[in-house]
Amino acid sequence: MRLKQGFVREDGKVFSQYYKVNGVEKEMWYSQESFKQIKKRRNERNIARQKKDKEKYAAYVKEWRLKNPEKSKKHSRESSQAWRKRNPEASKIRSTLMHGKRKAIKANNLHPDHDKSKERILVQCAKLMNLEVDHIIPLTRGGMHWHENLRLLPKGLNASKNNRLDSELSLQMQLELSVWKTFSKEIINDFYIDLDREIN
């Protein structure tokens, strides 16, 4: 089994990387303090490279996400969770600001034919099933706030989608999103069918 960077063995040493000497593969281990310093320097170098050529880095990240949708999803989720743990107060502030911003955008982008009762169905189902309500075309990309532009999504999938259009995502993610869109439409239709049965 190949070791991953950051693995800690019994004596407290941390694995850094593999390297070769005369064609023979060897392992590089550091004390925990040294490993933290090395990792910090690596991160600083990477950040400097990213700032130096933002377009090249953005293109690389986009290509990597398309090739590795599952890893990308997991990495985004873990990074968000780690940031929230490290910055609990800032996380609360950001959440409050984003909520206010979304309310303002919703008010500006409200579709004249929006059916609040259909939105309420999705919101109630989202709470019951631990899902989120997503704007198919994001509000920040010009999407309208109305029931035809809403669907249910699992939290992880919604976080991975972020404010991108479906067409900008991998084919696998597009298929998943399409299934959830159909599922959401069926929930709304079934709800109204059940109401009609009760009335009759």
pLDDT in tens, 122-173: 988 988 999 999 999 998 888 999 999 999 999 999 988 988 999 999 999 9
68 in the same domain as 26: no
Share of the chain above pLDDT 70, in %: 93
138, 187: one domain: yes
Let me know if residue 88 belongs to a domain. Answer: yes
My answer on whether 192 and 163 are in the same domain is yes
In a domain, 47, yes or no: no
Distance separating alpha carbons of residues 140 and 128, to the nearest angstrom: 27
Q: Above pLDDT 90, what percent of the chain?
A: 36
Same domain for 56 and 138, yes or no, is: yes
* 76 shares its domain with 35: no
Please, which residues have CB within 8 angstroms of residue 80's CB and are 6 or more apart in sequence?
A: 159
**Long-range CB pairs of 80-87, under 8 A, 24+ apart, other chains included:** 80/159
Residue bearing tokens 């040294």: 34
Q: Is there a single domain that holds both residue 64 and residue 124?
A: yes
The whole-angstrom separation of Cα 127 and Cα 106 is: 20
Confidence of residue 181 (pLDDT cuts 50, 70, 90): very high
Same domain flag for 56 and 154: yes
1 and 64 within one domain: no
Closest CA to 18 of 29, 7, 8, 32: 29
Residue 196, pLDDT above cutoff 60 = no
Element (H, E) at 153: strand 150-153
CA distances to 106, 118, 194 from 122, rounded to whole Å, are: 16, 7, 15
Q: Are residues 75 and 13 in the same domain?
A: no
Quick one: 34 and 56 in the same domain?
A: no
Per-residue tokens: 79: 């990074």
3-state secondary structure of 111: coil
In the three-class reduction of DSSP (H, G, I as helix; E, B as strand; rest coil), residue 142 is classed as coil
Question: Which domain does 12 fall in, by range?
Answer: 1-42
Identify whether 18 is part of a domain.
Answer: yes
**Residue 76 and residue 58 share a domain:** yes
5 assigned to some structural domain: yes
* CB contact at 8 A, 184 and 122: yes
Check whether residue 15 and residue 108 sit in a common domain.
no
